[in-house]
Every structure is written in structure tokens, then in C-alpha cells.
Amino acid sequence: MKTNLYILIAFLMEIGMLVGCSADGIPEKRDEVLPDGLTYIRFGVEAASDQGADENTLQNLTVLQFDLDKNVTDVTEQNNALCVTARYLRNPEPETDVDGGAKGYYLIGLKASTKDTQYLVFIANAGSMFQDYKGTLGDFKALTIPFDQKTNNGENQLMLGAGYVPVKGVDDEQTHPVILKRLVAQIHFNYTKKLEVTEARFTPISLRLRNVPKVLKYADGITEATDYPEKTSENFTDYTSIIDKIEEGFTWYIPQNVRTAAADGSYSDDFRTYVELSGIYEAPNMQDQLVTYKFYPGKDDHYNVSRNYSYEMLPVVGGVNSFDANVSTRNLTVSPSANCFVVAPEAGSEVTFDPHDSPGTDVAGTEIVYADQVIENQYSRIADVRPVWQTAENLIDVIFADGLVRVVPNAKGVDGNALIAAYAADGTTILWSWHIWVTPYAKVLDGTGTNGYIHTQTDNNHNTYEWMDRNLGALNTYREDKNRNLYYQWGRKDPFYDKTQNSAISSVITAADKGNALNFDVSVKNPTVFFQQQSGKSGTWHGGSAAITNLWDPNTKTVFDPCPAGWRVPAKVAWEAYKWGSGGNMAWDTANPYGTVWTVGPGVYSWFPRGALNNSIAFDTGNAYMWSTEWASTTPYTYKITSSSGSVANTIVGSLGGSVRCVKVK
């Protein structure tokens, strides 16, 4: 439904929708002398709206006087008319009588003219940008305003009015009415649920306005457009998703999007503005579905969105109607949030996750709040999600739509690792990043495959732990030198690869010496930078006078934990169950001297490859260091493996690249 926003002046004045302010920029009238040859004209200025007091507020007002008489009909001559006066009022107030009562008009000084009339343009809430305007009327009409849903709201509405008024060299006692109309349309959306299937549920995840004009013209407030903007992709954009408090509804203010009818009376469907609501539909005896609804403002078949109109959209969501062209569905399973997702390289395999859900508990002292990284007020900050690096060409495809990230691996059996990232609107700022582990081992982890194991280990206190049979990022369990996993600086979520074993990609990881304490936000924005240890700076990659020792935590899965959902970095006590040598279950592999073998049971082994990344991200073929979540006084605990021993130790700094073997969350 669309509503014309025109309201009578007397009503607006009576309910006090026009607020007062000082008249900056207006020369004062003293002793009945008109300074600078100005004539004072009375104007009754009203906002044509029924949307509420905030939207009728005049924060500021600019009046442009063009030297143009109403008898001029030639368009070229009209457009060549010069602006001879620009008056800017900051917080305009109507004139008052001796008792302080408002007279209902504004007194504005304009330049006297010998012509019958002058063409005046009134611009409300544009700030001071036109207070020194000296261009032509044609120049003014051509000006455009870039629009963004986060900067345009109901509290500071841009309004415009225009008309011809006599401006002579004497005071004009007549009050000339000016009607200000908004240059935008208001679209209010608020859905209700009336699901047709018993015990069904619909959970909204994304609300988005699509096909929105990028700019509006000031000329829209002077002449009615019949087809604007031009229907090309360069002139339209999709607004950022609303992902918080969707059930409460939302209101947008947008430039007009209007079109004319074709010769046969039909209207093109191209670039029609519409609201897109996406959510998860759950019903008994059905697989969960991602359902997306499209709603078009307006009631006519042209679906025009005109300036100064309000479009109230109150749809009822009833379920999944496969016969409705404006409803689309697909089956899906949304994976729990984490910093790592495991997916098998085969047809039909994929991972879908909500990037707005936190992968763990925020860590005090880092000033990183996950929600703030990806959400701003109700808006998603994420504009795009795409790969940062991958160890094989075309290893994965990444789709960001409907508020969800969908990762589809290759179906050719090519395994590998990738890092994907969420980017802000500027296309370069990384908000967060995730490791994608492409391996048949994904089937073992979800209980449907046999290409690997989940091992059980019991410590001296009879506590049982379930372990992956390989380090995080490893592609197999072969006992050979080329079996390298990914490497992590202690407390960071993002992996680093051994560049000598990943020649399939152009290396994008680098080492950097920041020198001082590092803002944690810098590490989030730079997941490919290996931050080097700072001498005398707590032996960590983040520097500072003291280490933050709960980036990984023995009691909770933090927002920086690099393991998949349901798994975590092991605590120190879990490593104490591994015993070396006689009577133990760990020994150096003398036949394949590139790592250590854990004898899980008769004929069942697990491989721990040697090596780590040094301060320059070069692979060191010496000892292996398996990270734990805990710290000694100055360095983190690891399970340190040499060619002759294995034990819990605290002999390396947290800035080096050690290995992670995930343990199941209890």
C-alpha cells in the first residue's frame, strides 16, 4: 500500500512538527533599512508528511534564488538562470510576536529584482553545502546525492520545495506558502508468521532491500520523473543485510525507482526494488530448508517506488509454497560456528555456516568482540566472503548469500587447505577469516566414513580423551617427510603453511616485525601475516609487557580456537597421557625418521610429523611442538617431540609456528 504524504499547513503547525532554530546567514533589518539591497519575504514552510515529528524536523534550511521569471518557457534559458542569492538557516525558527508567540512564517532576506518573479528553491536538512552556491539552475538540477542505508534515516530527512515568488524592493506582507517534499521514499517492512504446518518453525536470518538506486537528483524535487534512474546495473545496488532483530521490522529510506510503460502497456521487471527475507524453515519429517521470500512494494503491476510516498509492507509468512515464483527453497544443514570447517572433496558435499554466529567465547584484554567484528547495529558488516589462499587451484567455491556462507569443494577428490575471509564494503578490510580443511577425513568426523580414525586415550586419572588421528590441516597419515600439517602461532586462529610443500599456490603469507605491542584487531585483519617475536616483549607474537594467556583456554573454547566445531586445542593434562619409551606408547619412527609414532593399539598407529615454523616462517626440520592451551610463567606448554624423547615442556615461545592436534570437547 502506498500513501500520499501531503498534509495541510495548519495541522502541521498545530501539532508543532516544525521545530525552531536560529537564522544564521540572514542579514538583520535595522531602522527599516534593507542592507545589501535585500527584500524580506515571508514564507510559511511546511513539510508534507504524516510520518511523525522526527521526519518533519527542519534541522537546517537553504534558500537559493535564481534570476528566472515564471514567464520564461524555454528550457535552455531556464537552466542558464544564475543563482543570485543563497541563504542558509541553521536551526530555523519562525518569527515571533511581542509576546513570544510564533507567527507561523519565516522572514528571509532575498535580492530585489526588477522581474515579476524569481525562482526559489528551498532545501531542508542538506547542511551548509549550498550556502555559497553560485551555479546555474541547470547545474543544480544535475547534482546527485550518493545514498547509503546506514547514513539516511528518519531523523534528518532531505526535503525540497520550489516555486516562483515576487521579490521587489519593498517589504512583502504576503506569506508565501512553501511545501517541502521528501526526496526519498519510505519502505517499512514487518512480517508476521502464520505457519500452516503444525510444529513448524521459521527462523529469520537475513532481511535485505535489493535493486536500490545508488543516487538521487536534486531535480527530483523540482520536476516529477517518469523513468529514473536509467535501468543499468551501474545505477543500482543491494543494501547490506539486516541480521539482528528482524522480527521487529525495519524501515528504509531510498531514492525513487520509477519506470514508464512500454507501448503495449506493460512494465519491465528489470531492477524492480524488492525486499528479500531469508530464513530457516523447519517442519516435522522434513529436511531443514533455506527459504527466501521476495516482496515488492506498491500495489500496481509497475511496482514504482516514488519519492515522498510511504510503502507499508506487512506480509504474512505461511510456509513453503513451491508454486509461488517469489518463494525459493533449498535443502541445507547449517554447521555450528567455528574457525575451521572440514569438508570432503566429493560431489554433494558442502558446508554452510552463519558468519554472524561467534565461534567461541570472547577473550578479555584483546578488545575483540566477535559480534562487533561482523555486525554494526542491526546491519551485517560483511559485504563479501572469498578465498584468501588455497593449496590447490579451484579447491573450493565460496558463495555468500542470504546471510550464510556456503563452501562447495571440488568434486574431483582433490584435497587441501584454504583460508577464506569476510570482507567489509571497501573490498579490502578483512573482518574475520576461516580455515577450510578439504579432506576425506571429514566423513570420519561426521561418523559416515572409514578413511581414518578417532582415537581414544586415557590418562592416569582415568580421564578419557578423543583425539583426531592427524594434526590440524594434515591431508593423510602417511609416515613420510612430505606429510606436513598447518602451523599456528600460539593463541591465533589462522593457519600458516609450509611454503616448500605448497608450490601449487603463489605464497601470500609473510613475516612481519611490528616492534611494539600489537593491537589484536591488526592480527584479525591480517591473517596471512606471521607476527614475529619481539625481544623482551613477553615472547609472544602480540608483544606487550605480558602475555595474554587465555587466548586458548583449558576450560572453554575461545573465539580464537582453531579447531572445528565440537573440537578444541587440548589442555596440558591431556598431553600427559602420552608416554615415551619403555612401557609407553610413543617412539621415534626409525624406519621413517621424519616423525614419531603413537601406538594406539595392536596394528593401529598415529603419526606425529617433525618440524615447526621458525620466526621467519621457514620450516625447521628439528623437533615437533604440539600446542596445549596453557602457559607456564613465560612460555606456553607443548608436547615436545625429539628423536629421543617426548614430554610436556615449556621450551619455546608462543610466536613460533607449532602444530595443533584437536581433542573432542567433552
Name the residue with cell 516435522: 284
Contact 160, 181 (CB under 8 A): yes
pLDDT of residue 172: 75
Interior angle at CA 431, CA 513 and CA 213, nearest 5 = 135
| DSSP labels, 420-439 | EEEE-TTSS-EEEEEEEEE-
pLDDT at res. 154: 67
Q: Which of 345, 353, 351, 352 is nearest to 449 (CA)?
A: 345
**221/224 Cα distance (integer angstroms):** 7
What local confidence, expressed as pLDDT, does residue 30 receive? Answer: 30
* CB count in 10 Å sphere of residue 507: 12
**In this structure, are residues 207 and 350 in contact, taking their beta carbons and an 8 Å threshold?**
no
Which residue in this structure is represented by grid cell 510503502? 311
CB 495 within 8 A of CB 487: yes
Q: State which H helix or E strand residue 138 sits in.
A: helix 137-142
pLDDT of residue 438: 98
Half-sphere exposure of 259 (CA within 13 A, CB side): 22
- pLDDT recorded at residue 225: 74
Place of cell 520536476: 223
* Whole-angstrom distance, CA of residue 526 vs CA of residue 474: 23
User: Quick count: other Cβ atoms within 10 Å of Cβ 505?
Assistant: 18
What pLDDT does residue 48 have? 66
Q: What does the DSSP 8-state code read for residue 30?
A: B
Residue recorded with cell 602461532: 489
- Sites in the chain below the pLDDT cut of 50: 1-35, 50-53
Contact 625, 659 (CB under 8 A): yes
Q: Cα torsion at 597, 489, 437, 413 (round to 10°)?
A: -60
Provide the pLDDT for residue 17.
23
DSSP string of 158-192, one letter each residue: -EEEEEEE---SS---SEEEEEEEESSEEEEE--E
State which H helix or E strand residue 266 sits in. Answer: none
- Tell me the CA end-to-end span of the chain in Å, nearest whole number: 54
Strand partners, 124: 61, 159
Taking the C-alpha atoms of residue 585 and residue 75, their distance in angstroms, rounded to an integer, is 92
Q: Rounded to an integer, what distance in angstroms lies between the CA atom of residue 654 and that of residue 242? A: 39
pLDDT of residue 1: 38
Say how many C-beta atoms besides its own lie within 10 A of residue 489's C-beta: 27
**How distant is the alpha carbon of residue 335 from its chain centre?**
20
User: What are the residue ranges of helices labelled H in 38-136?
Assistant: 53-56, 75-79
Q: Which amino acid is at 2?
A: K
**Cell triple for 496:** 600458516
In whole angstroms, give the CA distance from residue 11 to residue 172.
Answer: 25
CB of 626 within 8 A of CB of 638?
yes
Cell 542558464, located at residue = 80
Over residues 25-47, the pLDDT tens digits come to 333 333 334 445 566 788 887 77
72 grid coordinates: 520564461
Q: Which of 308, 140, 110, 303 is nearest to 224 (CA)?
A: 308
User: Interior CA angle at 45 toward 43 and 47, to 5°?
Assistant: 165
Closest CA to 516 of 495, 500, 531: 531
Instruction: At 68, list the grid cell.
Output: 528566472
Q: Would you say 265 and 241 are in contact if contact means Cβ atoms under 8 Å apart?
A: no
- What's the CA gap between 50 and 309, in Å, rounded? 10
Single-letter amino acid, residue 498: D
Instruction: Determine contact, residues 496/389, Cβ cutoff 8 Å.
Output: no
Set of cell numbers at residue 254: 531510498
Handedness of CA 425, 251, 216, 110 (dihedral sign): negative
In contact, 626 and 608? CB cutoff 8 Å:
yes
Q: Is 125 helix (H, G, I), strand (E, B) or coil?
A: coil
Question: Which residues, other chains included, contact 228 with Cβ-Cβ below 8 Å and sequence gap of 6+?
Answer: 213, 217, 220, 256, 257, 258
> Residue type at 504?
A
Using CA atoms, how far apart are residues 141 and 438, in angstroms rounded to an integer?
56
Task: List the grid coordinates of 30.
Answer: 535595522
Set of cell numbers at residue 574:
591431556
> What letters, b where the CB count within 10 A reaches 16 and e where it falls short, cover 540-559?
bbbbeeebbbbbbbeeebbb
